Amino acid sequence: MAAKLWRSTSTADWHAAFASYDDALASLQKDGLVALDDWMQNELPQTLRAREPAPFLTQAELARLMRWKLTKGKWRPQLMKFIDGLSDVAVRAASTKAFAELKSDALMRAVQALSELKGVGPATASAVLAAYDNMAPFMADEALEAIAHVIGARKYTLGHYMAFAEQMAAKAAWLTAQAAPSPDDDGSSGAWSAQRVQLCLYAAAHSRTQSGEVAASPAKATTAAKKRAAASKKASGGSDDSDDDDGSATTKKNERAVRAATRKRRRAGDQ
């Protein structure tokens, strides 16, 4: 179970969870999900980086990202309609602003910039940001449930996302501190990101074993998992359309914590 993994102090458990991600995803047997996930985890990050120094997302890419999100989680036709109705100009403008904010370690403002688009709330915004910087974790239900005992019951608000991101970043920093990366690191060891922690929790939540233990060992990491880790390194250089909260003191405190964790990770060289 994901909550059990969260409490684990064994790095082997976390490496095993990361290695099992592809099998866990495939076990859901959702039409088109594996291909969409490969695009989101590997292709889209490279596309965004190729658009530097002012990267942006197109309306078609946002629509595809929404299909990925809804296929991976719960399908909400109305959200898809909202995204389909957005103009390419609006999506490019909002995403350009969001990525610029993220470069300044302003995660909260990055989410707010994307949330100006109809149908985009903190969860969808987090998917966009995760594709660009792996220290901005996707707000997956499985990961939210895994740490509900820490940050409270699942809510799709800006404040809750900031608390979630803080926890993912802190866990990533802890995992990174357990071992230094090796010169020939293939992505199965070394520096961790908040997004990688989220992927591990997702994999653990969908593990096919009855005991709740992760299903694969680190040595059995698939080619796709290695590609995802490599892309992750390059990328770091109510309902989901509910209103954001008001940027409370708690939210700002969480943002400062995320910034600190991000700076610490960057000093470790995971760019």
Nearest to 223 by CA among 75, 3, 1, 21: 21
- Please count the residues of the chain: 271
How far apart (Å, rounded) are the C-alpha atoms in residues 56 and 70? 22
Q: Is pLDDT of 228 > 60?
A: no
The pTM of this model reads 0.78
Q: How confident is the model at residue 76 (pLDDT cuts 50, 70, 90)?
A: confident
Q: Which residue has the higher pLDDT, 242 or 198?
A: 198
Nearest to 79 by CA among 90, 66, 89: 66
Name residue 182's amino acid: S
Tokens of 37: 């996930």
Q: How many percent of the chain have pLDDT more than 90?
A: 68
Question: Helix (H, G, I), strand (E, B), or coil: what is residue 254?
Answer: helix
Q: Is pLDDT of 266 > 50?
A: no
Tokens of 34: 């594996």
Q: How confident is the model at residue 179 (pLDDT cuts 50, 70, 90)?
A: confident
Q: Is pLDDT of 239 > 70?
A: no
Given this model, what pLDDT does residue 124 score? 98
How far apart (Å, rounded) are the C-alpha atoms in residues 147 and 202? 12
How far apart (Å, rounded) are the C-alpha atoms in residues 135 and 142? 18
Per residue in 18-35, pLDDT (tens digit) is 999 999 999 999 999 999
The sign of the CA dihedral 262, 264, 267, 270 is negative
- Give the single-character DSSP code of 193: -
Per residue in 130-174, pLDDT (tens digit) is 999 999 999 999 999 999 999 999 999 999 999 999 999 999 999
Compute and round to an integer the Cα radius of gyration of the chain: 17
Domain residue ranges of the chain, discontinuous segments joined by +: 2-266
Tokens of 83: 């995204």
